[in-house]
Amino acid sequence: MRGITAYGAYLPKARLQKRVIADANAWFDPGLKGLAKGEKTMCNWDEDAITMAVEAYTDCLGKAPGQTPAALLLASTSLPFNDRQSSVVVAEALNLNIADLRTMDITSSQRASTSGLLSALDIAAGGQEAVLVASEHRRAKCASREEMLYGDGAAAIAVGSKNVIAELVASHSQAVDFIDHFRGEGQDFDYGWEERWVRDEGYMKIIPDTVNALLAKAGVSAADIAHFILPTEQGRVPAMVAKKLGIDGAAIADNLLQSVGITGTAHAILLLAHRLEQAAPGDLVLLTGFGQGCDALLFKVTDAIKKQRPVKGVNGFLDNGRPEENYNKYQSFNDLLEKELGKRSEVNKQAYLSAMYRARGLTNSFLGGKCTACNTVQMPKHKYCVNPECGAYDTQEDHPMVGAKGHVATWTADTLTFDYSPPAYFGMVTFEGGGRIMMDMSEVDPETFDTGSEVSVHFRLKQIDHQAGFRKYFWKAIQA
């Protein structure tokens, strides 16, 4: 048996209210008011497809070290680098055993996640474990339909042949160069085609053809499907396709259009994770991915679903949102306007790659040191033990700090130094079990944040070098 063994998700805390987009742009396009219902997930300035992928994997498999699969696949059309494998950055942030790990970035299509899941399942067929993470942070033009509909988010699916919670029954794929939208080389935004054409010639023909072939292969009736997942920004399409296929309307998955938005290639996996939270043993789950063809995967939920739950899951993140009504902040965080950042932003942001490589144990994996002579934990790791009663030389072994609970020892809110979301919070964080370090702090609630506040550490963007097109990552303290 091969199939899904675990699942997880991540949604940014900020939820941009769609009405503020419509209010700002309805003078230009009154039709935007028709899309102004609800909210959509919005990345903080220090979040992107890489940082969200780390969060989704953690929600899926936890923060415990040593849980290294045979392969880590990352699906996205909004990766921050064209020529740097982002899945490797994710692997090091997760402190996986990179000496025995296959990594791959999968991109260039909205069905990259379902195609990646099929590849992961091929690995599982060989008796190994693999994890598919899909993460998306797409930008859209101001006053566009896409700006109203796109949301940010990530999801992760672990697959294997043991402790399977949803067995793969069958799959079928069809490759068709049907262009519903595209983003050309050097372009920042998608160019979409007419919605009715996409609906009638794309969704209503390509998906039914693929699904019917799958059902015939599996020997399953459409009426037996308990969960039907069709990610699309066209709200009526899932019901139309389900009716054409003979799938019960009650099986149609909520596309989360009013609470999340469409998270691009991550959306199919996000919806799968959401439905697995609701699924019962014996349920048949039909997952589709659309983009230059179609992938269709059929899973049967097992009794093991009762014992396997993510740390938070989609529902947990949905309940953890914070309304955001500042449209200017959204535009600024997404680099949609040219903003005067001030003289203090004009510092040398060049990345010294050799130094970054030597320090990657700390910067990428947040590894401290633990003295083998006295068991003292320290941050960062040094040659000498900081315990004044020990002081041993070269006795420290790597000690993962990501899962350690931290508390704020000292802090300041600096309005003079440059920050994309001022004021800049930073200070000393001490960890239970030992170790302390000066850290930046993100997503601070000034009403409740103070000395002694509990924090956890999260992989985030630290600095962006726009001139060189490079991003530096590090760990930040976020209020629990």
pLDDT of residue 294: 98
pLDDT of residue 13: 98
Q: How far apart are CA 170 and CA 368, in angstroms?
A: 45
Element (H, E) at 356: helix 353-358
94 token code pair: 């997760």
Q: How far apart are CA 282 and CA 299, in angstroms?
A: 10
Nearest in space to 475 (alpha carbons), one of 366, 400, 338: 366
CATH of 403-479, one of 2.60.40, 2.40.50, 2.40.10, 3.30.450: 2.40.50
CA–CA distances in Å: residue 75 to residues 266, 293, 472: 7, 17, 21
139 token code pair: 């930008």
Phi-psi region of 162 (alpha: psi -120 to 50; beta: other; left: phi over 0): beta
pLDDT of residue 61: 93
Superfamily covering domain 3-333: Thiolase/Chalcone synthase (3.40.47.10)
Report the half-sphere exposure of 235 (CA within 13 A, side-chain side).
Answer: 8
pLDDT of residue 65: 45
Element (H, E) at 410: strand 406-414
First and final CA of the chain: distance in angstroms? Answer: 39
Backbone angles phi, psi at 66, to 5 degrees: 90, -5
Q: How far apart are CA 73 and CA 85, in angstroms?
A: 11
pLDDT of residue 456: 96
418 token code pair: 């440059």
194 token code pair: 């007419």
Q: Are 3-333 and 403-479 the same fold in CATH?
A: no
pLDDT of residue 265: 98
Residues near 25 by Cβ (< 8 Å), separated by ≥ 6? Answer: 32, 142, 143
* 312 secondary structure, DSSP code: S
Q: How far apart are CA 367 and CA 402, in angstroms?
A: 8
pLDDT along the chain (480 residues), means of 10: 97 98 96 96 98 97 74 98 97 93 97 98 95 97 96 98 97 97 95 96 98 98 98 97 98 98 98 98 98 98 95 97 97 91 82 93 96 96 95 96 96 94 97 96 96 97 93 96
The DSSP code sequence of 220-283 is --GGG-SEEE---S-TTHHHHHHHHHT--GGGBPP--TTTT-B-GGGHHHHHHHHHHHH--TT-
Phi-psi region of 269 (alpha: psi -120 to 50; beta: other; left: phi over 0): alpha
Q: Is 474 helix (H, G, I), strand (E, B) or coil?
A: strand
pLDDT of residue 347: 83
Q: How far apart are CA 280 and CA 303, in angstroms?
A: 8
Please answer whether residues 201 and 153 qualify as being in contact, where contact means their C-beta atoms are separated by less than 8 angstroms: no
* 203 secondary structure, DSSP code: I
pLDDT of residue 204: 98
Count of residues for the chain?
480
| In the chain, where the domains are located | 3-333, 403-479
Q: pTM of whole model > 0.95?
A: yes
pLDDT of residue 66: 47
Q: Is 237 helix (H, G, I), strand (E, B) or coil?
A: helix
Q: How far apart are CA 452 and CA 430, in angstroms?
A: 10
